Amino acid sequence: MNKPILGLLLGGALGALDGLSALASAPEVKPHIMGIVAGSMGKGLVAGVLTGVVARKVNNLAIGIVAGIAIAALLALPFALGTDPATGKRYFWEIMIPGSIVGLIVGYATQKFGQPVPQRT
Amino acid sequence: MTLPENVVAHLQEVLRAPDPPGERYMLHEPVGQGGMGTVYRASDRALGRDVAVKVLRGDVADAEAAVRLEREARILARLEHPGIVPVHDVGTLRDGRVYYVMKLVRGQRLQDFARGAGRSDVLRVVLRVCETVGFAHAHGVVHRDLKPANIMVGAFGEVLVLDWGIARVVGVGPAPDCTVPPPSPVSSQEAAAPPRDPETAPGTVLGTPGFMAPEQARGQPGLVDARTDVYGLGAILRAVVVGDTDGRDVPRPLAAIWTRAVSPEPGARYPSAADLASDITRFLDGQPVTAYREPFTERAGRLFRKYQTAIILVLTYLAVRLLFLVMRGF
């Protein structure tokens, strides 16, 4: 499996789980959970494939992890800055920190696993 | 006049040293000694390079030993592989002793290399030995004297299997023929006869105790096959991994690999050097090995060690989620 595909699958799965975890951390969002999961999964898919592309270009664990965190945090930021229309509350850190950790995991995984690019001779 | 002792010793050494004909090879100091021959560092004057010359030892220089050494050279010449020293030349000295010329290899014997290397580096060297021995088996040759002293780790990381003096051809491909006349001194009747087949006669024991398979130690050449070398490879693995320690810190799967390889019954061993190599590779990759059925706890531990970082990251994520949950409770 190549690295962008690995990032896509891992980012999508972790994003969906991250969205579902809102049921535990903020039960009042239950009526909107489908939208939250879809948004979180879409964010994970985009962040995952971008991180995978970085991993394919750069074979460096530190750069891969930093890229994963940065991409995930950037994509999570609009959601974190918004307020929940139902409750009017803002969940900035509840979205940013777990989202960034998911980016870290995807950054690590795409550097460590997945098919490397064949060396040009 | 009495010569000083050191002068006498030097003269004796010069007399003992072989004298290759034609003066192409100038012999220097001995660099190794096998069961049949002594290996000298030598200068090849024609090509201006250092080589190694293996000469039949004077005390074993009978017709059978000569045929065996010549056969060793022919077997080596046939086995073109990076793990086998290439042979350049073969010939007979003026005194009738057979010699052959090969590449001079500089490096450490495996037991010396293993003392200063990590376990995984040692296992990778054993893997290379398995590959070389497997190559020889594919060409119908069984080494029969595998031991750490016969493995050289070169200066550039090359791994060479040495001393094929008692190697046996076991039926795949043609055996190397012996066309060089038998060396003197032999009787005219012996000289007229075709070279004797140096194959080991039943009851004859050749090999090294501790590294020799039971069927070989019992002098049953008919039972010798690739699995005989698998035993030797297992014994090497055990020797270099355990080394001077009591072996208590050796992982059970690794110990199970050599335990299977050195099974007294050939049928219980790995069927080939390649199968042994596959299990060593699986061990190095953190995968389960075929020689060991691991309990659940050990399997969990192995998987945790293999995916340690990923597991810690996921646990961190869950811990953060839990932290927010707890904070929300307050």
Residue B189 lies in a domain: no
pLDDT of residue B1: 64
Task: Say yes or no: B120 and B262 in one domain.
Answer: yes
Most B CBs within 10 Å: which of A14, A25, A87, A106, as the mutation test of the B interface? A25
Nearest Cβ partner of A101 from B309, B317, B328? Answer: B317
Q: How many CB atoms lie within 10 A of CB A46?
A: 18
Which of B104, B121, B142 is at the close of a domain? Answer: B104
Query: How does the average pLDDT of chain A come out, rounded?
Result: 87
pLDDT of residue A27: 79
Task: Say yes or no: B151 and B69 in one domain.
Answer: no
Confidence of residue B235 (pLDDT cuts 50, 70, 90): very high
Confidence of residue B167 (pLDDT cuts 50, 70, 90): confident
Query: How does the average pLDDT of chain B come out, rounded?
Result: 82
Task: Say yes or no: B130 and B249 in one domain.
Answer: yes
Confidence of residue B196 (pLDDT cuts 50, 70, 90): very low
| Contact between chains at B310 and A105 (C-beta distance less than 8 A) | yes
Task: Say yes or no: B118 and B132 in one domain.
Answer: yes
Burial pattern B57-70, b for ≥16 Cβ within 10 A else e, equals beeebebebbbbbb
Residue B201 has pLDDT above 70, yes or no: no
B326 touching chain A per CB within 8 A: no
pLDDT of residue B101: 93
Q: Which residue has the higher pLDDT, B60 or B124?
A: B124
Task: Say yes or no: B272 and B218 in one domain.
Answer: yes
- What residue has token string 């096998």? B34
Count of domains observed in chain B:
3
pLDDT of residue B205: 59
Residue B146 lies in a domain: yes
Residue A111 has pLDDT above 90, yes or no: yes
Q: Which two tokens stand for residue B315?
A: 């646990």
Task: Say yes or no: B112 and B214 in one domain.
Answer: yes
Task: Say yes or no: B141 and B212 in one domain.
Answer: yes
Task: Say yes or no: B123 and B272 in one domain.
Answer: yes
Q: Domain coordinates of chain A in residue numbers?
A: 3-112
Confidence of residue B264 (pLDDT cuts 50, 70, 90): very high
pLDDT of residue B175: 42
**Boundaries of domain holding B320:** 300-329
Task: Say yes or no: B57 and B141 in one domain.
Answer: no
Task: Say yes or no: B70 and B161 in one domain.
Answer: no
CB B105 within 8 Å of CB B160: yes
Residue A105: its chain B contacts at CB < 8 A?
310, 313-314, 317
Residue B292 has pLDDT above 90, yes or no: yes
* CA of residue B322 relative to chain centroid, distance: 57
Residue B194 lies in a domain: no
> Which is the catalytic residue, given B89, B112, B145, B225?
B145
Q: Is B145 a catalytic residue?
A: yes
Taking residues A104-116, report their average pLDDT: 89
Query: pLDDT tens-digit profile of A32-46?
Result: 889 889 988 999 999
Residue B193 lies in a domain: no
pLDDT of residue B330: 58
pLDDT of residue B181: 33
Q: Which residue has the higher pLDDT, B282 or B200?
A: B282
Smallest CA-to-CA distance from B276 within B263, B287, B293, B290 is with: B290
Task: Say yes or no: B161 and B42 in one domain.
Answer: no
Task: Say yes or no: B158 and B284 in one domain.
Answer: yes
Residue B255 has pLDDT above 60, yes or no: yes
> How far A121 CA lies from chain B's nearest CA (Å)?
23
Q: Which residue has the higher pLDDT, B196 or A95?
A: A95
> How far B178 CA lies from chain A's nearest CA (Å)?
46
CATH number of the domain bearing residue B45: 3.30.200.20
Q: Which two tokens stand for residue B34?
A: 């096998």
The conformation of residue B87, written as its DSSP 8-state character, comes to: E
Nearest Cβ partner of A105 from B314, B325, B328? Answer: B314
The verdict on ipTM greater than 0.90 is no
**Most confident of the ranges A14-23, B168-177, B191-200:** A14-23
Residue B178 has pLDDT above 90, yes or no: no
Most A CBs within 10 Å: which of B311, B316, B320, as the mutation test of the A interface? B320
Residue B310: its chain A contacts at CB < 8 A?
105, 108-109, 112
Q: Integer distance in angstroms from the first to the last C-alpha of chain A? A: 22
In sequence order, the β-bridge partners of residue B25 are B44
Residue B328: its chain A contacts at CB < 8 A?
25-26
